[in-house]
Structure 1
């Protein structure tokens, strides 16, 4: 990730969290949006789910990450900090749980 900000070390260290979040979201999308059995562009989660793939392990971790996410907003009118979990985060959890639920059923019928 250092190549993203080679001339400004402060930007590099401050941007690591954002870069990690972007990578995480990229992996989430890859894990549920593959079109082939083989990994594409060297991205192991950008492939179909198989009994030996790392999708289930990743989804378990991703669900925990999403469950820990909070968005913090300062309401300027009341000067109160509000903490919430937006619907998109909750729905990622639902989606990943759904994929985990469907996968064993697909395996039983030969996928």
Structure 2
């Protein structure tokens, strides 16, 4: 089953929108868990929160389930169909020492 809204989603996001058969699809779906793999109808490789919002809105409009893969660790259950949002490229950190606050994006990995 394909995703009818893929082209509109490609225009709505800054990151990548991939469907089965696209050259980067398998690599972007892969995580560190080798036992199972996500196989979504569409994969949004988000560049920021606006991309995540666009992916969730598209899934809602098309009545599809949504799954999120942050860094590829901790695959609880593989996504079959629907929309997978990869946040691994959202790896920014901002620190405001004066306000004693920090913003850590969803794809940040510990070292």
TM, length-normalised to structure 1 = 0.28
Looking at secondary structure, tell me which structure has more strand per residue. 2
Which structure has the highest helix share of the two? 1
Larger radius of gyration: 1
Structure with the bigger RCO (C-alpha within 8 Å, sep 6+) is: 2
When the two structures are superposed, what TM-score results if normalisation uses the length of structure 2? 0.28
